[in-house]
Amino acid sequence: MKQKIWLCIWLIWMISFSFTITVIANENQASDEMYYILVDRFTNGTSVNDRQVNLDDPNAFHGGDLAGVNQQLSHVQQLGMETINISPVMETDVYHGFAVTDFRSVSSHFGSLEDLQQLVASAHDKNMKVILDFPLTQMSEDHSWVENRPEWVIRADENPESQMPRPDFQESEVVDYFVETISFWLDEANVDGFHFYADAQIPDHVMNTFVDTVHQKGDHTAIVDGRATNEGMQMNQSLQQQMTSVFKQAGTSLEPLFASENSSKQEDVLFLESLTTNRFAYEAVQAEHNPVTRVKLALTYMYTVPGQPMLYQGLEVPMDNGKPTPDHRMARINQTEEEVVQRIEKLSELRSQYPALVDGELEYIEQEGAMSVYKRQLNDQEIYIAINNDEVTQMAELESISGAKQLRGVLYDDIVREQEDGTHQMILERETANIFIVEEDTGLNWPFLSFLIVVFGGFITFVIVMTKKNT
């Protein structure tokens, strides 16, 4: 008899703590987080194309290929990524692909056109997109144009930045060739767009023509890297530098990130690290701070301001090569840091769930020490983001929230209610962040309390009845 009573008590306890009310903010929408893959340094999916591979030589091919990318799509998707941006896979004689020898063929080091087609098909089956890196500012000395069509080429000694030959876009035939090449990859490989590497030497009308060609072929993505443009999305280089400076250590104010010269726009691609920058974890370690904590704070900012986040392979570890140089080692995607992965997955989920985090207007609200509060608002949806980058606990008092509203934390469970003086007080421990949804103040959860009263009342009645039967 006693065992039955204790079983009932246990069941009621379990029910009371598992009873939750789910609030659906909005139907999921695409928010297009991107993941950058350096193909040769990602995953070796097959040994068939392992020629000239030397793992001991950092400048040699290491065997990563399109088959390996295909095999790891689920890993990337689990992070919440909806687009992969892969490094140049055109015919090349260098592992990173930025010395192209043929703009219209897949390098045998990485696989074949069929491998690329299969990768794209697999990604589309997962509702993911694939965009290709497309270098416009340099090509290999071994490209056939260097010898056979010198009038189409700017020589290496005339291209001081890379000291490599480059296409001459003053020549109309060269422009036509690249327009046709863009169409070739869109049609033959069914890719979803391009990440163009450009500079100011490319005439505006030429760059606009390339971007227009991408858009005219369908709902495709065009990212322009290395120059300002009125067309397409742009990699926000200056914000990357400012984010690193702010988030690599505690005690630094976030205010510079919201200055007009640094603030992000909807068409910006936001990133902490890339193929050409130092690892963010390296910067944090050099500043004598925990890279996991620092990455989580930086990601929270990057996912909650205007623009589309792009993660460079290995950030989820987070990888640190211990050097002030770009990290082109093989990605250690089997050694991920759970805290970082969980933060990436949660932020991606929130961007899909709450349109204001993607398309809402941004307003900078409050600064207390190195703690900042800002708001994203889209129609009636209001979301407050609080990031405490300070070395101590901080409190921000918000006076701008009208009506009987409460703030519900979604990174960490928390409810901030209106005080007697009409303010809402956000308190965050050092080096933490939270995202708060503005909603009606529910006060006490009366439906839940009523449920408990009924359940416990029934239990007490049951105990009394059973006790009388046994006396």
**Which tokens go with 48?**
């068939």
DSSP per-residue letters across 223-267: EEESS--SSSEEE-HHHHHHHHHHHTSTT--SGGGGSTTT---TT
pLDDT of residue 229: 76
Torsion angle in degrees (nearest 10) through CA of 386, 390, 394, 395 = -30
Cα 130 off chain centre by = 15
E-assigned strands of 72-177?
83-86, 90-92, 100-106, 129-135, 153-154, 166-167
Neighbouring residues of 257: CB distance < 8 A, sequence distance ≥ 6: 239, 242, 243, 246, 263, 301, 305
Domain ranges of the chain: 2-21+446-469, 34-359, 364-440
Asked if residue 119 lies in contact with residue 107, where contact means CB atoms within 8 angstroms, the answer is no
The number of helix segments (H) and strand segments (E) in the chain equals 13, 20
Encoded amino acid at 55, one letter: L
Is the pTM value of this prediction over 0.85?
A: yes
Q: Phi and psi dihedrals of 332, rounded to 5?
A: -100, 60
> Which stretches of the chain score pLDDT less than 70?
1-31, 443-459, 461-471
Angle between helices 338-353 and 291-304 (to 10 degrees): 10
For the domain 364-440, what is the CATH code?
A: 2.60.40.1180
Q: What is the pLDDT of residue 231?
A: 75
Q: What is the pLDDT of residue 456?
A: 62
pLDDT at 396: 95
- Please state which of the four CATH numbers 3.40.1380.10, 3.20.20.80, 3.40.50.720, 3.30.1360.30 is assigned to the domain occupying 34-359: 3.20.20.80
CA distance 188 to 127: 19
Question: In this predicted structure, what is the pLDDT of residue 351?
Answer: 97
Domains 34-359 and 364-440 fall in the same CATH topology: no
Q: How many alpha carbons lie under 13 Å from residue 351 in its C-beta half-sphere?
A: 27
